[in-house]
Amino acid sequence: MNHKHITMTSIVLATLMLVSLLAAVSSAASVSGQTMAGTGPAATTSWSNGQTDIFAVDTSGTLWQTSVLPSSGGAWNYVGGVCTSSPAAVSWGSTLRFDVFVRGSDGAVWQITYNNGWSSWNSLGGQVASGTGPAVASWSAGRLDVFVEGTNGALWHKWWNGAQWSGWESLGGQLTSSPAATGQYPASNGQAIYLFVRGTDGACWEKSYNHGWSSWHSLGGQVASGTGPGVGQDLALFVQGTDGQLWWYGAGWSSGATWKTIGTQAPEALSASSPTSTIVVVMDHNMVSVSGTSGTVWYCVADVSGWNTWNSAGTP
């Protein structure tokens, strides 16, 4: 993991990203009308008003956002940037706030925040393995934890404590995918984080933090190459299996949980990207979102009777 200060190249990149954002803020539509190959959506719900938003990257590397629940506006809104991975998103606090993280064209982690308007892009440094992207979790307002697969294949961690960012620390392991993380915010288990990755054996592996890091342990299963897990705040864990189908580990799983299909598969083949999950607060249900091979973003919501039909969020 590269711990050097931001280089002149990074400064130039930040300037170009900001100029791009200011110049195209009124852009009404994506150049491509589909998600970038190898990337999937990010989904997060604001705990202040229950708004559920999806973020996706188009083929030009631009980040876009749409609101899907409790009501769908149907339009994708320009956020900007030069992204080379799936986004990761999280919401915390008493206002409508979203923090989104991506791998930039320089391989570093970049952050943008919505809080009554979008911020400029900010580099967190580091070097993220090609073909992977960051994960983010929050266990309380003012706390952000970012995770990436480093260029050495290990899991790396950086956190915001409400005042400043830490340096990067290695948590070890050998990853073969983007990580997934949840802080179960609002926290029901203190300062808790749960992490999931695809291991070198193709299985899903988990590591957790609760006043200290656990060791790695395997949850089994077989995750499709080039994809990683997705997890919601209630620990509903999703992967794309080697059969191309969506599998999940159930919500609030225990040691007795097993892998199973969600019962209603997406209406088209899944792209080689990771699923994402969040809780729909106003409905108290879990939502999973995926990217199809056509570049369309799809989402499905579970209720007490099981998984409902899939809905299209369109394309960025």
Domains and CATH numbers, the chain: 8-314 (2.120.10.70)
Contact predicate 80/25, CB 8 Å: yes
Residue among 130, 164, 171 at smallest CA distance from 147: 171
112 - beta bridge partners?
Answer: 100
Q: How many CB atoms lie within 10 A of CB 40?
A: 30
* Residue 189: predicted pLDDT: 55
- Full DSSP string of 220-255: E--BPTT---EE-TT--EEEEBTTS-EEE--TT--T
- DSSP 8-state secondary structure symbol assigned to residue 83: B
* CA R_g for the chain: 18
With beta carbons less than 8 A apart as the criterion, state whether 67 and 52 touch: yes
Q: What is the pLDDT of residue 2?
A: 46
Nearest C-alpha neighbor of 298 from the set 36, 30, 43 = 43
pLDDT of residue 3: 39
**Average pLDDT for runs of 10 along the chain of length 316:** 38 36 40 84 89 94 92 85 97 86 98 95 98 95 95 98 96 96 67 94 95 93 96 90 92 74 90 93 84 94 85 92
pLDDT of residue 28: 44
Residues in the chain: 316
- Cβ density class 50-76: b for 16+ within 10 Å, e for less: ebbbbbbbbbebbbbbbbbbeebeeeb
What pTM was computed for the model? 0.88
Would you state the pLDDT for residue 263? 82
- Structure tokens, 122: 């900010």
Q: Cβ neighbours of residue 149 under 8 Å, at least 6 residues apart?
A: 128, 129, 132, 155, 156, 175, 177, 178, 179, 197
Residue 113: what pLDDT?
A: 97
Torsions phi, psi for 31 (to 5 deg): -65, -40
- Which one, of 100, 185, 178, lies nearest residue 134 by Cα? 178
> For position 27, what pLDDT does the model report?
41
Those residues whose C-beta lies under 8 Å from the C-beta of residue 1, and which sit 6 or more positions away, are 126, 127, 150, 151, 152, 156, 168, 170
Cα–Cα nearest to 145, from 154, 153, 156: 156
State residue 50's pLDDT score.
Answer: 83
pLDDT of residue 24: 34
How high is the pLDDT of residue 190?
A: 67
Tokens representing residue 312 in the block: 């299209």
